[in-house]
Amino acid sequence: MGRVSTSVHIKFNEYTGLKKSEAYNSIRNYLSSKSTSRAKRLKANEKRGSKSLVLSLDDHEAVEDVFNGVNVKWCSHVSKREEHSNASSGSEERRYFTLSFHMKHREMIIESYLDHVLREGRKIEFKNRERKLYTNSESHGWSFKEGKWCSVPFHHPATFETLAMDPEKKEWIKKELVKFIKGKDYYKKVGKPWKRGYLLFGPPGTGKSTMISAMANFLEYDVYDLELTTVKDNSDLKRLLLDTKRKSIIVIEDIDCSLGVTGQKRKKEEEEDQEEEDEEGKKKKASEKAFYKERERSRVTLSGLLNAIDGLWSACSDEKIMAFTTNFVENLDPALIRRGRMDNHIEMGYCRFEAFKVLAKNYLEVETHELYGEIERLVEEIDMSPADVAENLMPKSDEEDAEVCLMRLVKSLEEERENLRTLAEEEVKKKAEWEARKIKKKKKKADQEEKKKKADLEVKEKAADQEERK
Ligand SMILES: Nc1ncnc2c1ncn2[C@@H]1O[C@H](COP(=O)(O)OP(=O)(O)OP(=O)(O)O)[C@@H](O)[C@H]1O
Ligand SMILES: [Mg+2]
């Protein structure tokens, strides 16, 4: 009796009213981590949205825990639902946990231990969840039930280990990401919303999208792939962004093609370029113009986008990364990519030797080879994207070994060099022809002027002659 009367019990119900209790969920997760090593009876569930089987404390089972040297005891209970209780509370059974401890620790348990349990439980749930790739549905298709985003499980295999790029740059990016996820207090201290913007730029096939997947896998974040062209207007964009969860990367791919963010800059360039232009240049400009015109139809404006990512609303949700990708960084409006908005500009370049070594290790499991010297010379000279290098390195059948694949890469690099040489020669030839034509035109014009001058002079002389004769 003495022992019982000195104990305090706290009850945590599975349901609070109609809603499933988040505290109960967190406690269950916390206890499952303790139970796997301590409890005698466990139950295994396949839970939706979780990546593996979830083990938890079985009904009517107890487990002990120690916190700051204090022993506590958790029990899981289940009782039949009473007749008059609310039918919509989910199931026939009522589940709850009880926490028991000595009353002299009441303050410490309530103030520190419970916080600790809830925090750890949430962490475990976050770790166990199946990560998702979201994409926005058309604005008119939004419904209360389906939401604004549709999702599929995110299983992209890219990691920083498989990403081919300069190792130092890679390490620096990883370090920065770690600093970001641990930076809650820092961001609060400096008065900035806890978010970070990345601009990834570079030619096609250099790993911009792969880098985003690697980041998401590294941070264990969800990914929101935002398709701006299907967003009706600025306020829908705002709503979409508000509907994203924390610990996620929001991606806008090919930002230069998504809305008229390059409009003003292009107009200026067009004016400047107008004078010196040959036929081919004119054709290219016309097709580019048509492309930009099509793109500018998007009703999301630059200022709308800036507002959504950077205005007051953006502060409503913490712990998010915003990533833009583009092939033409020089065409983007400076307002969009200024530091503070896009804090980090990462250039994804052509495949150089360091990046090649990563690819060779991943695709062929070789770290060195006699062809490496030649390949080093070639990749430092020729611009080839990691996607093309990877394609050459991938064995196409079981008979192909590392040497065959490396040889194929060397051949392909040499071909590329040859192509570039002929292209450059053609270019020089074309330029020379164009110059010659220009000189010819000038000469013709000068000749004509000369002729005209001569004719005028003759007429004048004739007139003077006649005058004299008269
Ligand atoms: N740096 C890299 N490291 C490893 N693999 C790469 C890298 N770059 C490209 N690849 C390979 O090439 C494929 C295409 O790359 P990815 O889609 O990331 O290019 P991108 O830069 O996003 O191109 P785009 O500008 O066309 O969108 C990837 O599936 C990946 O296998
Ligand atoms: Mg891409």
Distance CA 470, CA 467 (A): 5
Domain boundaries, the chain: 2-128, 132-272+280-347, 353-447
Distances (CA, A) of 36 to 32, 60, 61, 117, 120: 6, 16, 12, 16, 15
For ligand 2, an ion, list residues with CB under 5 A: 208-209
pLDDT at position 173 is 95
Instruction: Take atom 26 of ligand 1 and give the residue whose Cα is closest.
Output: 204
Nearest atom in ligand 1 to the alpha carbon of residue 162 is: 4
- 329 alpha carbon, closest ligand: 1
DSSP 8-class letter at 113: I
Under 8 Å between Cβ of 262 and 256: yes
Question: What is the number of the ligand 1 atom nearest to the C-alpha of 202?
Answer: 21
- How many A from CA of 206 to the centre of ligand 1? 5
pLDDT at 263: 45
Residue whose C-alpha is closest to residue 308's, from 296, 320, 297 = 320
What is the fold of 132-272+280-347?
Answer: Rossmann fold (3.40.50)
User: What is the C-alpha to C-alpha distance for residues 243 and 148, in angstroms, rounded to an integer?
Assistant: 8
Instruction: List the pLDDT tens digit at each of the 470 positions of the chain.
Output: 445 568 899 999 988 777 778 899 899 889 888 776 666 777 777 666 666 677 778 888 888 899 999 999 999 998 876 655 554 444 567 889 999 999 999 999 999 999 999 999 988 888 888 889 999 877 666 665 567 888 899 999 999 999 999 999 999 999 999 999 999 899 889 888 888 999 999 999 999 999 999 999 999 999 999 988 888 888 888 888 888 888 899 999 998 877 655 444 445 555 555 544 556 666 666 766 666 555 555 578 888 888 888 777 666 667 899 999 999 888 888 888 887 778 899 999 999 999 999 999 999 999 999 999 999 999 999 999 999 999 999 999 988 899 999 999 999 999 999 999 999 999 999 999 999 999 999 999 999 999 999 999 999 999 999 988 88
Q: Ligand 2: distance of its center to the CA of 200 in Å?
A: 10
Ligand 1 proximal residues by C-beta, below 6 Å: 162-165, 204-210, 327, 348, 386-387, 390
- Taking the C-alpha atoms of residue 419 and residue 163, their distance in angstroms, rounded to an integer, is 28
Spacing, Cα 347 to ligand 1 middle (Å): 13
- Residues 270 and 344 sit within 8 Å (Cβ to Cβ): no
What pTM, to 2 d.p., does this model score?
A: 0.74
Q: Given this model, what pLDDT does residue 212 score? A: 96
Q: 88: exposed, middle or buried (C-beta count within 10 Å: 0-12, 13-18, 19+)?
A: exposed
pLDDT at 336: 83
Atom of ligand 1 nearest to the CA of 213: 18
Cα gap 115→99, rounded to integer Å: 14
DSSP, residue by residue, 333-399: -HHHHSTTTS-EEEE-----HHHHHHHHHHHH--S--TTHHHHHHHHHHS---HHHHHHHHS-SSTT
Give the whole-angstrom CA distance, residue 245 versus residue 354.
Answer: 37
Among 16, 15, 34, 9, CA closest to 116:
34
Question: 121 in helix, strand or coil?
Answer: helix
Pocket probe mutation, ligand 1, options 210, 255, 327, 331, max atoms within 8 Å of Cβ: 210
**Amino acid identity, residue 379?**
V
ipTM above 0.85, yes or no: yes
